[in-house]
Amino acid sequence: MPTSTTSAHWPGAALVLVLYLGAAGVSAALGSAAGPAQSASIWLAAAVLFAAFMRCPRSPALLLGGWLAATIWGVLGHQLGWGASIVFGLIEVLAAWLGAILAAPRSLPALSLQACMRLVAGAVLTSVIGASLAALFWFWQDAQSNWSLEWRTWAFSTLIGLLLVVPVAVAYRGFRAQRSGGMTRPQFYAGLAAFVLFLALAWTVFSPSVQKLGTAAATLAYIPMPFLLAASMLWGARGGSVAMLLGGLLIIARSALGGGPFAVEDAFTGEAVVEAQAFVVVWAVLLLFGRGLEDSRRRALQTASEWRLRYERTLAASGVMSVEFDPTDGSATWSPGAEKILGGHMESLQNMADWLSHVDAADHPMAQAAWESACDGHPVARYSYEVQLSESRYAAEVSLAPIFGPDGAVESVAALVRVLNTAQG
């Protein structure tokens, strides 16, 4: 009997079957990568399996559903017999499963730079393994088939499909509609304007009319891409991945139909589509890594903010303030919350001279000597003295530590000031 966990995956397996066949139909409608080749110009169906296996790599139900879907497509899409279709399905599932195992995020955040690198590596592995097995499979089916052509078209069409579709699946994993917390309206409209400009330019550049410019037309391919990059960065991971998917489909579909700057002169059959595929792959990887870097930056800022909050709370709870003094002019930069500890006297403590002017006369020589020692590069261990601020008298413990710059000179002096008790003067 199947376990409850396995039973829970059967609806997912059915969904994989439907999505695979739908994606395969869309891929077939976009045209072949090269005249006699069996592969489409872009193979989206493999990405359905890849994304499913990334989520549940050890689910027999998903493996069976994916294999059944690929087998059915072998019969419907390639007019293969059931025996050959079964082998075709095994190739699809095996290649996607191995790549997904490598790309599975495990403990990594889904959109981190490391996860993006694993995703690209997994996509390349799936493409290479699938292309190698598929080329042998098509040669087995027809000894007259061109092994290198089948390998190239399968590898490129699978790779671009994975790099366009899987980031969308990863970005929308666990997505729930919310009334707040998304992008701002100006940000959305700015991204929309950039994307509309991209579509208009891409539709124009990747049309048959540009081919009259000859080999110089290839340089026009880069004109729309900065607008796609802008839309992707403005819309974030979810909107950006969808923008890249739609943009990549448009470029490859127009190229497969004989339009665009890459179709000016083919050195071999299907060269224009291969060039368009490589072009889109480069931009897909660029945007993927760009989003990974942005996510890493956002997480680093969030972590730094969280630790800063913890640090400030700890200092405030223990009555400790931190301050940095410039050793040249003595200007002070106090930590947030210092005014709460000192009772709102911060305006009168803008530099070390202000601080020393409030030190009790009996302790002033000691405090002055400690400051001069720290400016000379010698740390000063904790020492105590009294400070008078308006009506309040503070007993404080102070520690000074020099901070050295790259040239070895004292760049600033850090101080920890702990208020031990207060008394009214």
Kind and range of the H or E run holding 46: helix 45-55
What stretch of H or E contains 334?
strand 332-334
Looking at domain 9-172, its CATH class is mainly alpha
In angstroms, the CA 258 to CA 306 distance is: 54
Overall fold of domain 320-421: Beta-Lactamase (3.30.450)
For the entire predicted model, the pTM comes to 0.71
CA R_g for the chain:
32
Contacts of 266 by beta carbon, 8 Å cutoff, 6+ apart: 272
393: Cβ–Cβ under 8 A, 6 or more apart, which residues?
386, 387, 422, 423, 424, 425
C-alpha closest to that of 129 among 164, 154, 161:
154
Q: Which residues pair with 53 in a beta bridge?
A: none
- Dihedrals phi, psi of 380, to nearest 5 degrees: -115, 120
Q: Copy the structure tokens of residue 71.
A: 């087998």
Rounded CA-CA distance 132/136 in Å is 7
Tell me the domain boundaries of the chain. 9-172, 184-318, 320-421
Cβ-based neighbour number of residue 94 at 10 Å: 16
Buried b (16+ CB within 10 A) or exposed e, 341-354: bbeebbeebeebeb
At CB < 8 A and 24+ separation, what contacts does 342-348 make?
Answer: 342/389, 342/394, 342/419, 343/389, 343/392, 343/422, 345/389, 345/390, 345/392, 348/389
d(CA 104, CA 53): 8
8 A C-beta contact, residue 347 and residue 340: no
Q: For residue 277, give the nearest of 55, 30, 89 by alpha carbon.
A: 30
Q: What are phi and psi of 43, to 5 degrees?
A: -110, 100
Q: What is the pLDDT along the chain (425 residues), one digit of tens a residue?
A: 444 445 557 788 889 999 999 998 888 887 665 556 677 778 889 999 999 998 888 888 899 999 999 999 999 988 888 999 999 999 999 999 999 998 886 666 667 778 888 889 999 999 999 999 988 988 888 777 778 888 888 888 899 999 999 988 888 876 665 555 567 888 889 999 999 999 999 888 887 777 666 666 667 888 888 899 889 888 887 888 899 899 888 888 887 777 777 766 655 556 667 778 888 888 888 888 887 887 778 788 888 888 888 877 777 777 788 889 898 888 988 887 777 777 667 777 888 888 888 888 888 888 899 898 989 988 888 778 888 877 777 788 888 999 998 888 899 999 888 876 555 54
Structure token digits, residue 411:
């760049």
Token representation of residue 401: 């530590």
Distance CA 350, CA 353 (A): 8
Instruction: Name which of 157, 143, 46 is nearest 100 in CA terms.
Output: 46
Give the per-residue pLDDT at 179: 55
- Tell me how crowded residue 318 is: count the other CB atoms within 10 A of its CB: 10
Residue 202 structure tokens:
């891409």
